[in-house]
Amino acid sequence: MRAWLLGAVAGLAAVLGTAGAASALPVSFVDGPAASAGAVALPVGSGGRLGAQAQAVDRATGGAVTRAIAAAAFSGSNGAVLTLYGVGPYSRIILIGTGAAPLDRVGLEDYGGRLARAVGEGRAEPVDVVVPEAADGVRDAAALVALGARLSSYSFPAVGVTREVSPDRRLVMRPGSGASGQGEAWTRRWQPLADGVFFARNLISTPSNIKSPQWFVDETRKAFEGLPVTITVIDEVEAARLGMGGLLGVGQGSVRPPRMMAIVYNGAGSERPLAFVGKGVTFDTGGISIKPSDGMWRMRYDMAGAAASVGAVLSAAKRGVRANVIAVVPLAENMPDGNAIRPGDVLTAFDGQTMEILNTDAEGRVILADANAWAARTFSPALIVNIATLTGAARGAVGDDYAALFARNDATASLVAAAGAAVGEATWRLPIHPSTYDDLRSDVADIRNVVEGGAPGASIGAAFLELFVPDTVEWAHLDIAPVAWRTSRAPTVPVGAVGWGVRLFDELATRAEQPSGS
Ligand code: BES
Ligand code: ZN
Ligand code: MN
């Protein structure tokens, strides 16, 4: 059936290539004080306070730094940036405000992000980076600054365009005395995390004519080559045999068939794993319940949940975390077509529950139904965390600085929220009223995928997902429709794909770590 079209699509992907290696600012770590010439970046505390390394630079300029701070009324407030050119022996001195307190992890990453941005302006030269004072208990300060710088410097390679990146533009981290081993911490622990975020961002940014479900699978296999994971891919034939009616139903309007993929990383023996189950709609037109054309292009990010799940497991496998983590991603393209599902159709999910599809644009929950049920039965996880660009309503509820969080119990909600807070991925918990499950009942099937009136939209979507998780498994859900794509810059995130969730999941994996030797 329409094999010619499939061939043409495969050919196009081959011509356009894959998500290329994104450019990134190189970093190295050198013990000893900041260089006495060239370019340097310095932290400046509230009131223009300078630490020991910054004072040495100030002395080398005959006090020009102190005078510039006074003349510019530079307060040193967190995030303020002032660049001086050609002062004393220095080509450039970048002053970055760090505010009152020593910095926590997020503060250190943001410092790195701001400095990477400042480094990108002006001529290409290595920049020596003085690392700000870290709060008690925060380890790897220099490596965290490097992480922020790396994340901030991400850019998605334009399709078919090669950008020149000067090898002279790089960072030389100066951790300061008593902080050796930072280079090793970067390579072992934090660079893998940056790789996971970059992989997710590349997947999300890729246009959907390239990004088919099978393409997503191929990119994942390439990224995990040589790493200790087991990848399972279920094609449309196997999915039919297994009864994944939700995945097949959503995918049947596309010439590019759906896939279910699992990536299993085992770092902690026989512990029940954490399962990150992420929505992978490679493009969401809405299907027969078609979306308006304005802004529809952005729906190529409707697989950002799947990207975060896979990116987090990539980081876990690369750094060898002592925890068991799994990514499960249902991948489908939601298209209107002569073969597409219609409003009113009834589909049967993997666990036997029947679903009345009243709106084909509420498709994420339908493919995640199969993914949750299949993940629970196959891997017996301790916890399933769904992550999905599930509803526009989530943004209406929490704005675009939070992901909406749902959980089956308070302890699980706290666990997920705390992990997010620690890494700068903020969540806000929303409720599911018991009546919502009643509202989801259907006259012709077990449940329906939307409720008339539609409110509270984010909670209805969440409740639907929860119905496919047996009560022997803990469950949480992150609706990342508000946060997965940025229209303005943040310190460690350029405009576009955020890779939201990779850091949160990475932190959850760390918190689940088993003592070494067990
Ligand atoms: N992918 C969308 C949700 C979305 C909307 C993500 C805007 C990012 C930005 C999802 O599949 C969808 O279409 N949801 C519908 C649900 C409705 C039909 C119940 C929505 O939010 O309108
Ligand atoms: Zn969608
Ligand atoms: Mn939709």
Instruction: Note the ligand closest to the C-alpha atom of 483.
Output: 1
Does position 20 have pLDDT exceeding 90, yes or no?
no
Contacts of 87 by beta carbon, 8 Å cutoff, 6+ apart: 61, 64, 65, 68, 93
Question: Quick one: pLDDT band at residue 18, thresholds 50, 70, 90?
Answer: very low
Instruction: Note the ligand closest to the C-alpha atom of 393.
Output: 1
- Give ligand 1 pocket residues (Cβ under 6 A): 284, 302, 359, 361-364, 389-393, 450, 454, 457, 481
Distance set, CA 29 to CA 76, 98, 171, 187, 440 (Å): 25, 21, 8, 11, 56
Cα 509 from chain centre: 14
431-459: pLDDT as tens digits: 999 999 999 999 999 999 999 998 999 99
Residues in the chain: 518
Does position 179 have pLDDT exceeding 80, yes or no?
no
pLDDT value at residue 517: 60
Phi, psi of 404 (to 5 degrees): -80, 130
327-340: pLDDT as tens digits: 999 999 999 999 99
Question: What is the torsion angle, in degrees rounded to the nearest 10, for the CA atoms of residue 440, residue 441, residue 444 and residue 446?
Answer: 100
All structural domains of the chain, each given as residue ranges with its CATH number in brackets, are 21-193 (3.40.220.10), 208-511 (3.40.630.10)
What is the pTM (predicted TM-score) of this model?
A: 0.95
Phi, psi of 266 (to 5 degrees): -115, 100
86-115: pLDDT as tens digits: 999 999 999 999 998 899 999 999 999 999
Question: Quick one: pLDDT band at residue 19, thresholds 50, 70, 90?
Answer: very low
Question: Quick one: pLDDT band at residue 343, thresholds 50, 70, 90?
Answer: very high
Report the separation in Å between the CA atom of 289 and the middle of ligand 1, taken as the mean of its atom positions.
11
Report the separation in Å between the CA atom of 286 and the middle of ligand 1, taken as the mean of its atom positions.
8
- Start-to-end CA span in the chain (Å): 53
Provide the token pair at 269: 């023996």
Annotated catalytic residue, options 188, 272, 291, 429: 291
Based on the residue annotation, tell me whether 291 is a catalytic residue of this protein.
yes
**Cross-strand partners of 284:** 334
Report the separation in Å between the CA atom of 190 and the middle of ligand 3, taken as the mean of its atom positions.
35
